[in-house]
Amino acid sequence: MPETPEQLYERVLDGLRMPPVGEWDTFPFGGEMRPRPLRAPADTDPPREGRGGVDCRSCTATDEKYLWTNERWRLFAPSQPSGLPVVLLLEPREHYAEPGDLSDDLAAELGVMLVRVERAIRSVGEIGRVHVCRWGDGTEHLHWWFMARPARIPQLIGSFAAIWDDVLPPTPHVVWRANLDHVCAELSR
Ligand SMILES: [Zn+2]
């Protein structure tokens, strides 16, 4: 039987731990820190944007809003550069909420798409690694994050790259645009 949120919360009241972030070279922040108090469980999870495909921004967006598209997949680029050299989102054209909702055929195609996009981003050059991530708590329309970290800056390795993306100054616009153009060209070959 799974632990309920209430049971978890009861355990939390005994105290949260502070991990030794001061020793972590990859942690983006310094100074005195302590865990944020955990609030009591809510009645439900917060609703996600575009629930059930209603008023879903991905479903209603035209292909022009995307960096690259094909029959069943679309690749989205944010409108402005961020700290990492390439950040992109892959979405199925149709509305699915969870990975497990995909048919076997679409799931197989997804595997190929994840690999193709990763390869295209890595070929931009000076990319240390492309993190392929699935978070889905904001918008419901299924999407995979591709977050490329720069090569040879050891502090940017690992999952904190997603935080460094907001900490580093934005990639120069002309460089960012060229990176996206390269990815698009690679996928269209
Ligand atoms: Zn949708």
CATH number of the domain that residue 84 is part of:
3.30.428.10
Q: Digits of tens for pLDDT over the chain (189 positions)?
A: 999 999 999 999 888 999 999 899 999 999 999 999 999 999 999 999 999 999 999 999 999 999 999 999 999 999 999 999 999 999 999 999 999 999 999 999 999 999 999 999 999 999 999 999 999 999 999 999 999 999 999 999 999 999 999 999 999 999 999 999 999 999 998
Residue 10 lies in a domain: no
Strand arrangement, sheet containing 127-133:
68-69, 73-76, 86-92, 144-150, 127-133
- Hey, how many other C-beta atoms are within 10 angstroms of the C-beta on 114? 16
Give 59 Cα–ligand 1 centroid separation in angstroms. 4
87 alpha carbon – ligand 1 mean position (Å): 20
* Domain contains 129: yes
146 Cα: distance to centroid of ligand 1 (angstroms): 19
Indicate whether 176 belongs to any domain: yes
150 three-class SS: strand
Residue 67's pLDDT is: 98
Inside any domain, residue 147: yes
In a domain? residue 35: no
* 138 C-alpha to ligand 1 centroid (Å): 12
CA of 80 to the centre of ligand 1 (A): 22
Look up the domain containing 181 and give its range. 51-188
- Give the pLDDT of residue 164: 98
128 found inside a domain? yes
Indicate whether 7 belongs to any domain.
no
Q: What is the pTM of this model?
A: 0.95
pLDDT at 23: 93
Burial 36-55 (b: 16+ CB within 10 A, else e): eeeeeeeeeeeeeebeeeee
Is 81 within 8 Å of 171 (Cβ atoms)? yes
Give dist(CA 83, CA 108) in Å, integer.
32
CA 184 – ligand 1 centroid, Å: 23
**Count of domains for the chain:** 1
Q: Specify the pLDDT at position 50.
A: 97
Q: Calculate how far, in angstroms, residue 136's C-alpha sits from the geometric centre of ligand 1.
A: 12
